[in-house]
A = this chain, B = another copy of it.
């Protein structure tokens, strides 16, 4: 957590620092980020930085919390507005869509997340803690529900399917943020996510 001094700062200065940090962490993984670039960009002195934060990781955790909150709020908001259909295929479709749209609307935030997921495993664990495990369990729960309702094959390996859904949503966002890697534009990515879910749906659906 940043020191009290940071929160005493005039709003505009605080925001300048936050903006500089977001830019830095969007471009570089935490382990490659530089305090020098941040203080240059934010126009504060080296000494000040250490008056506000313990070190770079202190700042990173603060920024990452902002990102995580933003994404959480985004998902909550948009998953609500349309009444949550009980169809698990609908839920998954919506999640993929929202993931991509969040990346489109908040590329810097998305890039920060992306660096974290792609980069050093130790660091990822330190920042995310149990989050990834929860996420995995969420997917498994969703699929289990599908099995109980009879819409998902009984013999499906839920762990594997959950791996598929989770990893592919990360890959999709990653590729999108990479810019013109596989697909041309956001719409093609949305199309692709849809088609992928069609494949999955047909692939895991119970036979009639």
Interface status of A50 (Cβ within 8 A of chain B): no
When the two chains form their complex, are residues B192 and A157 in contact, meaning their CB atoms are under 8 A apart?
yes
Q: Which of B32, B163, B196 makes the CB contact (< 8 A) with A160?
A: B196
A contact residues, total (Cβ < 8 Å): 30
Interface status of A73 (Cβ within 8 A of chain B): no
Q: How many copies of this chain sit in the oligomeric assembly? A: 2
When the two chains form their complex, are residues B199 and A164 in contact, meaning their CB atoms are under 8 A apart?
yes
Interface status of A203 (Cβ within 8 A of chain B): yes
Interface status of A202 (Cβ within 8 A of chain B): yes
Interface status of A182 (Cβ within 8 A of chain B): yes
When the two chains form their complex, are residues A164 and B168 in contact, meaning their CB atoms are under 8 A apart?
yes
Interface status of A51 (Cβ within 8 A of chain B): no
When the two chains form their complex, are residues B192 and A203 in contact, meaning their CB atoms are under 8 A apart?
no
> Given A196-B164, A203-B199, A159 and B178 touching (CB < 8 A)?
no
Interface status of A195 (Cβ within 8 A of chain B): yes
Interface status of A201 (Cβ within 8 A of chain B): yes
Closest 3 CB pairs of A and B: A203-B203, A199-B203, A160-B195
